[in-house]
Structure 1
Amino acid sequence: MKKRVLSAIIMILIFVPLLFIGGIPFAILMTVLALGAMYELINIREKKKEFPTLIKIISYLLTIFSLVLTYNQNLFSYKMSYQLISFIILLFLLPILLKDKKEMDYDINDALYLIGSLLFINIAFNLILVVRNYSLDYLIYLLLITVITDTFALITGMYIGKNKLAPTISPNKTIEGFIGGVLMGTFVATTFYYTVIDPGISLAILILTTLFLAVVGQLGDLVFSSIKRTFNVKDFSNLIPGHGGILDRLDSLIFVILAFILVMGLI
């Protein structure tokens, strides 16, 4: 417990100041977190089969390049994003031709896993950076949805949780916890948005949007739990003592921010 509390304090002391500072310091933090997340996805897959060292190095370099590119442009231009995606696909598919060589045990399953992981991690952390560059208040709104929902899902489930939400995926999660977390997350985040960001917005639309994002965040948590069960691991890593890995902490936020961008594109 002491280790968990100490890690939480350190994370807050690092993240909160950089969140408010923004700019290059926050971009560096996002790059470090993206690298850690990419490492975790590679690491859990390597429990079954190792990737060639060169392929792993390329994955990390592309992660860094993607975040640097996003920071410099603020928003990905469609042209550049398609070029980068095409480059990633070609770069990880072509080495399959060398699969018969002893030093290159690499096949289509490896390539698709790495392509999917790279696109997922890079898009997610790029979007966090994009939202922060656009507006600190928007990112705080999304963080409130994530943190409050997760916290009250845990508290509600602990005290009144009786019915399992997804016993085969995450046995400790309950329906009561899910509902309690979503409702409280929606209330707090909606209040913040309405009073700080845009008091003129339709309250009904805001509540429904926030409720949707809170639900997606909880479902994202379950998706990552399912991934861990697939690879038979409790945590993605032990990079954060007492808390597991980076993806264990940011699973809900990643899905919330993906859903937020989707909603903003529809409104």
Structure 2
Amino acid sequence: MRKILYFISLLSIFSVFCVLTQTAFASSSSSSGKSGTSDKFIVQPNGEQSVGYPQISIRTNAKANPIDFNKFAATCDSIADSYPVNDPSDRSQAVKKYLLEQIGSGDLGHVWIIVFNSARPGDYVSYSYWKGSGYVSNHNKNYSGYDPSEREFLYQKDIKLPQNMNTTKIENELIPPLLKQSTNIGKILGIPEDITGNGTFTPVTTCSWFCGNLWNSINKLDNQVDFTSPFSNSSEHAKKWGMPFLADLNSFANPGALAKYLSK
């Protein structure tokens, strides 16, 4: 009975996640702080001085081509059909493996956030999510890897950090709930934490998911970003894949979607 109640509670958490995915990422009409190009990488290790400090930047090295998750779903359907209909466990494992390999490979692009405290070299904090490690930051004591400010990008949005915000608040109040949410979703998907307390990278809790949510939690409504692509007929695909908990997930976070938003 305890196991059943625990699973029900996890499904409730995932339902809330699906609602947030569909409603919290509305794109802003403001173009303030957007910059980038479709074919030339940019290196900006100390931020944009014209914006002022402290400033926050969300960056991606993806081209402005959102992932077509309907094509992804069709491939996943074919993978699932390699196993008997009455074998949802093997069907779901095969689909999860494919999605993690494709989405976590980096071939689809990456997203990260930089908070520049000043124009002084090295005076910044980096935040993102990696496959195999979850939360990464130069302020994360659990893991030494992170995205340096010198990393090349194609698009970014950089603005002054809100007056009521700082890196201590970001790390103590905004990031922990995201880590917990990704860990709970990982449990539903059967994907464990690679590093205890570091959150879980899954096909739905990716760098785009983490950074998009974190950015929108930090900034006001007029500076929100859109970072998801539609995923139609999710209930049909979820049933075919042996993943009924994905039935209400109608969009997926991905770097290309953010890049497209930032390119406008």
Q: TM-score, normalised by structure 1?
A: 0.29
Greater gyration radius: 1
Of structures 1 and 2, the one scoring higher in RCO (CA 8 A, sep 6+) is 2
Q: Name the structure where helix makes up a greater proportion of residues.
A: 1
Q: Name the structure where strand makes up a greater proportion of residues.
A: 2
Q: TM-score, normalised by structure 2?
A: 0.29
